[in-house]
């Protein structure tokens, strides 16, 4: 079976993890600090704080932004559910905004109608790795006292206006889940330019302690720690960070290969009338974390039938980005109409794209779509031509 995604990990990562384990320091320690430094420098961010996931990074971003009960946080429904869930972790109300069809991201035009006097933050997602227009969103929000938090879960190594995505944000959260380009198994990073915020994030991830466990352990004097505010255990381990350091060294190669394979898909799929694929926006480049394809309304087979045919051909594809407002966990939550979101979630699929994907495998994937474009639908009517 051709998987939808396979992380590019191997002997080097295994050796790095083994070295961390044999060092005797396996929880958060010196390798996490090194990974943070290397990540901040790669992204061009002032501070990077390693966390257990992007979900916990989003939670802490909202905590340090001071978001709480009764506040409204505008989020795209068209995102992995963790984006909306984060607002609920701080007892705020997620307010679903629609997205732009080309980028699948929020824009000022989709967010503005959702703003109320209670809006305190917008979580701007770089969906599937396509950078969102952060400057435009900040121009809408900041004069109104609304904070923009970037959910760059998928966007490590994407570029926004000449800088790595996330570098320009006040707070940007990344994921290192294996579906992403750079993986640590599970893991996340929150980057910020604010030194005080970074210090607070380091405390919050470690139970609200004023001295880190690593610092206490290496001190030559007894240290009595204090717990200065409600905190969490959102730490990354040194084993994960050791893997992350190796992965970070490969990021350039990972992106170059993704972009080459993505271009190949784009060229081959351009021959199917009406099919649209993920592409770079005007102001930046994507890392192609996911390669989505939008089927035209008159495509001869349904999206789900196409997924079935791909599976029968040995290809594990996925439905497109989910829409949180359609899930039972969000039932009853009021929202304005979300026509673009509903269209995209129903008509898109995600094709396999990963570092080791071969050209013959890609050809097989495309051949199923090409055959689908020519196939009569279940009622026997030919369409799409
Ligand atoms: C946009 C977005 N935000 C947040 C997350 C959550 O990331 P993690 O699995 O690291 O918690 C994901 C994961 O897929 C995501 O795609």
Closest ligand 1 atom, residue 127 Cα: 1
pLDDT of residue 218: 85
User: pTM of the prediction?
Assistant: 0.96
Task: Work out the mean pLDDT of the chain and round it to a whole number.
Answer: 96
Distance 29 CA to ligand 1 centre (A): 24
Which protein residues are within 6 Å of ligand 1, measured from CB? 53-55, 79-80, 82-83, 125, 151, 153-154, 175, 177, 179, 188
Closest ligand 1 atom, residue 56 Cα: 11
Handedness of CA 202, 205, 209, 215 (dihedral sign): negative
Judge contact between 155 and 289, C-beta under 8 A: yes
CA–CA dist 331, 333 (Å, integer): 6
CA–CA dist 44, 165 (Å, integer): 9
The arithmetic mean of pLDDT across residues 305-323, rounded, is 98
pLDDT tens for 340-349 read 999 999 999 9
Distance 223 CA to ligand 1 centre (A): 37
Judge contact between 63 and 305, C-beta under 8 A: no
Distance 377 CA to ligand 1 centre (A): 35
Structure confidence at residue 380 as a pLDDT band (50, 70, 90): very low
Of 80, 185, 350, the one to substitute when testing ligand 1's pocket (max ligand atoms within 8 A of C-beta) is: 80
Give the active site residues.
180
Question: What are the residues whose beta carbons fall under 8 Å from the beta carbon of 366, sequence distance 6 or more?
Answer: 265, 268, 269
Of 4, 150, 154, 166, the one to substitute when testing ligand 1's pocket (max ligand atoms within 8 A of C-beta) is: 154
Place of tokens 């992106």: 255
Q: What residue's CA is closest to ligand 1, atom 16?
A: 80
Burial class (CB in 10 A: 0-12, 13-18, 19+), 41: exposed
Distance 32 CA to ligand 1 centre (A): 20
Helix (H) or strand (E) holding 87: helix 82-89
The arithmetic mean of pLDDT across residues 307-335, rounded, is 97
Structure confidence at residue 22 as a pLDDT band (50, 70, 90): very high
Distance 112 CA to ligand 1 centre (A): 25
pLDDT tens for 73-124 read 999 999 999 999 999 999 999 999 999 999 999 999 999 999 999 999 999 9
- Other CB atoms within 10 A of residue 282 CB: 7
The arithmetic mean of pLDDT across residues 58-67, rounded, is 98
Closest ligand 1 atom, residue 86 Cα: 4
pLDDT tens for 137-189 read 999 999 999 999 999 999 999 999 999 999 999 999 999 999 999 999 999 99
Judge contact between 30 and 238, C-beta under 8 A: yes
pLDDT tens for 351-378 read 999 999 999 999 999 999 999 999 865 4
Burial class (CB in 10 A: 0-12, 13-18, 19+), 369: buried
Closest ligand 1 atom, residue 180 Cα: 14
Judge contact between 366 and 293, C-beta under 8 A: no
pLDDT of residue 213: 81
Helix (H) or strand (E) holding 86: helix 82-89
Both structure tokens of 378: 């279940």
With a cut of 70, say whether residue 381 has pLDDT above it.
Answer: no
How many residues are there in the chain? Answer: 385
**What percent helix, strand, coil does the chain show, rounded to 5?**
40, 15, 45
pLDDT of residue 235: 98
Residues of the chain above pLDDT 90, percent:
94
Place of tokens 């081959």: 268
């Amino acid at each position: 079976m051709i998987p939808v995604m396979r992380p590019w990990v191997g002997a080097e990562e295994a050796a790095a993890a083994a070295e961390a384990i044999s060092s005797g320091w396996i929880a958060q320690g010196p390798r996490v600090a090194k990974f943070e430094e290397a990540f901040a420098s790669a992204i061009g961010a002032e501070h990077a704080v390693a966390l257990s996931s992007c979900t916990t990074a989003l939670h802490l971003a909202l905590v340090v932004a001071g978001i709480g009960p009764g506040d409204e946080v505008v989020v795209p429904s068209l995102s992995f559910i963790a984006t909306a869930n984060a607002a609920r972790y701080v007892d705020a109300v997620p307010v679903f905004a629609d997205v732009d069809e080309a980028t699948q991201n929020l824009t000022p035009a989709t967010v503005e109608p959702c703003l109320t006097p209670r809006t305190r933050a917008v979580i701007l997602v770089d969906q599937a790795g396509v950078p969102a227009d952060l400057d435009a969103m900040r121009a809408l929000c900041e004069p109104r006292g609304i904070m923009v938090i970037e959910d760059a879960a998928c966007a490590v190594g994407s570029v926004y206006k000449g800088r790595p995505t996330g570098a320009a944000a006040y707070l940007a959260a990344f994921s290192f889940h294996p579906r992403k380009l750079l993986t640590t198994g599970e893991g996340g990073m929150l980057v910020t330019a604010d030194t005080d915020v970074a210090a607070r994030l380091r405390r919050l991830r470690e139970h609200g302690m004023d001295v880190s466990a690593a610092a206490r352990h290496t001190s030559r004097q007894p240290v009595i720690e204090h717990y200065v505010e409600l905190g969490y255990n959102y730490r990354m381990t040194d084993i994960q960070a050791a893997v992350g350091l190796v992965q970070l060294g490969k990021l350039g190669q990972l992106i170059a290969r993704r972009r080459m394979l993505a271009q190949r898909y784009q060229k081959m799929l351009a021959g199917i009338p009406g099919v649209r694929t993920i592409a770079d926006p005007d102001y930046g480049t994507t890392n192609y974390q996911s390669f989505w394809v939008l089927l035209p309304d008159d495509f001869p087979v349904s999206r789900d039938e196409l997924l079935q045919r791909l599976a029968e051909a040995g290809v594990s594809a996925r439905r497109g980005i989910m829409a949180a407002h359609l899930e039972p966990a969000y039932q009853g939550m009021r929202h304005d109409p979300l026509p673009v979101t509903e269209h995209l979630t129903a008509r898109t699929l995600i094709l396999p794209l990963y570092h080791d994907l071969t050209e013959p495998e890609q050809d097989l994937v495309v051949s199923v779509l090409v055959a689908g474009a020519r196939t009569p639908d279940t009622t026997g009517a030919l369409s799409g031509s």
